[in-house]
């Protein structure tokens, strides 16, 4: 009984390590293709449109409501020790350092990792990926590289735009609900915001973009047969991307701000 328990744990650990190694090799393979021709520009631009432009509404809506709620929370919390005036600066710092990149990344993960995994998974089970090979086209180079690069480029832009919209959500609530003067609110927002507050969030966005696209491509490429296989690949891609975003966010925050 105890032996079987440890065997199960051992198998689970070994499977996990094998999976992590396989994903790491896949990611390294993508990176190596970035510096080797050919590069599929048309697929890259299409991916920028899909990942970046078409994710703007969901990222914008997430940011505006997050900024608005953050302003209310900080105001309510700050009122306990007469620090209501910190609302603009805390909203700005909170949005740019943490909430903008993390929530934006999670929303893009839900939208993009699922879409990439489902699309490539369907191509896998309908032999379209095999067809690429027979047409002298490397599936990793053709399917994964443009998507990963597009995500690395697009997600920081989405985060930047989300930061602005989130801060404006806080400003809207601050001026309309909490009685802040508009000019003072904006002045305080700028006064305490540093370049690295925004820059660190954009770097996080690029890393999250890489994580999202790699997870989508990896699970799509390794999808099992049939509709159930594609469904499982899609679900796993979103879960893995979300967990990795939260984990890498902690690591990056340690690296950027622990000192």
Partner 1 sequence: MIEIEGLKKSFGKKVVLRDVNLKVAKGESLVVIGGSGTGKSVLLKCVLGLVRPDGGKIRIDGKPVDGAEREAFLARFGMLFQGGALFDSMTVWQNVGFRLLRGSTRRPKDEARAIALDKLRRVGLGPEVADLYPAELSGGMQKRVGLARAIATDPAVIFFDEPTTGLDPIMAGVINDLIRSIVTEMGATAITITHDMISVRAIADKVAMLHEGRVHWHGTVAEMDTTDDPYVDQFIHGRAKGPITALR
Position 226 contacts partner 1 (CB under 8 A): no
**Residues constituting the chain:** 259
Is the CB of residue 95 less than 8 Å from the CB of residue 70? yes
Query: Considering only residues 76, 131, 247, 251, which one is a binding residue for partner 1 as defined by CB under 8 A?
Result: 131
Q: Which residues, 6+ apart, have CB-to-CB distance to 115 below 8 Å?
A: 50, 216
Query: Considering only residues 133, 247, 251, 255, which one is a binding residue for partner 1 as defined by CB under 8 A?
Result: 133
**Stretch in the footprint of partner 1 (CB under 8 A) among 129-137, 173-181, 217-225, 251-259:** 129-137
Query: Considering only residues 10, 38, 57, 226, which one is a binding residue for partner 1 as defined by CB under 8 A?
Result: 38
Integer angstrom CA distances of residue 218 from 93, 103, 215:
34, 23, 5
CB of 134 to partner 1, least distance (A): 4
Position 248 contacts partner 1 (CB under 8 A): no
Position 126 contacts partner 1 (CB under 8 A): yes
Position 130 contacts partner 1 (CB under 8 A): yes
CB of 146 to partner 1, least distance (A): 13
198-225 as b/e, with b when 16 or more CB fall inside 10 Å? bebbbbbbbbbbbbbbbbbbbbbbbbee
Identify which of residues 45 and 255 has a Cβ nearer to partner 1 in the complex: 45
Identify which of residues 137 and 253 has a Cβ nearer to partner 1 in the complex: 137
Position 134 contacts partner 1 (CB under 8 A): yes
For the chain, helix, strand, coil in percent to 5 are 90, 0, 10
90-112 as b/e, with b when 16 or more CB fall inside 10 Å? bbbbbbbbbbbbbbbbbbbbbbb
- Residues that bind partner 1 (rule: CB under 8 A) add up to a total of 13
* Per-residue tokens: 96: 């740019």
CB atoms closer than 10 angstroms to residue 131: 12
Per-residue mark of binding to partner 1, 136-165 (x: CB under 8 A): xx----------------------------
**Stretch in the footprint of partner 1 (CB under 8 A) among 102-110, 133-141, 194-202, 223-231:** 133-141
Position 135 contacts partner 1 (CB under 8 A): yes
Q: Give residues in contact with partner 1 (CB under 8 A).
A: 38, 40, 123, 126-128, 130-131, 133-137
């Amino acid at each position: 009984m105890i032996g079987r328990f440890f065997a199960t744990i051992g198998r689970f650990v070994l499977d996990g390590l094998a999976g992590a190694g396989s994903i790491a090799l896949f990611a390294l393979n993508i990176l190596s293709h970035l510096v080797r021709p050919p590069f599929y520009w048309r697929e890259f631009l299409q991916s920028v449109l899909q990942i970046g432009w078409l994710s703007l509404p969901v990222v914008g809506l997430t940011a505006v409501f997050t900024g608005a709620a953050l302003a209310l929370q900080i105001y309510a919390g700050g009122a306990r020790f007469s620090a209501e005036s910190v609302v603009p600066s805390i909203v700005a710092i909170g949005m740019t350092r943490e909430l903008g990149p993390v929530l934006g990344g999670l929303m893009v993960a839900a939208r993009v990792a699922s879409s990439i995994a489902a699309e490539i998974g369907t191509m896998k089970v309908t032999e379209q990926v095999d067809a690429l090979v027979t047409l002298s086209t490397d599936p990793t180079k053709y399917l994964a590289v443009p998507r990963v690069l597009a995500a690395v480029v697009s997600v920081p832009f989405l985060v930047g735009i989300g930061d602005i919209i989130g801060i404006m959500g806080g400003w809207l609530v601050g001026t309309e609900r909490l009685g802040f003067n508009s000019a003072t609110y904006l002045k305080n927002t700028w006064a305490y915001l540093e370049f690295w507050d925004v820059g660190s969030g954009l770097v996080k966005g690029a890393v999250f973009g890489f994580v999202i696209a790699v997870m989508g491509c990896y699970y799509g490429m390794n999808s099992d047969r049939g509709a159930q296989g594609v469904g499982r690949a899609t679900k796993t891609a979103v879960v893995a991307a979300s967990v990795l975003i939260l984990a890498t966010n902690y690591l990056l925050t340690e690296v950027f701000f622990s000192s």
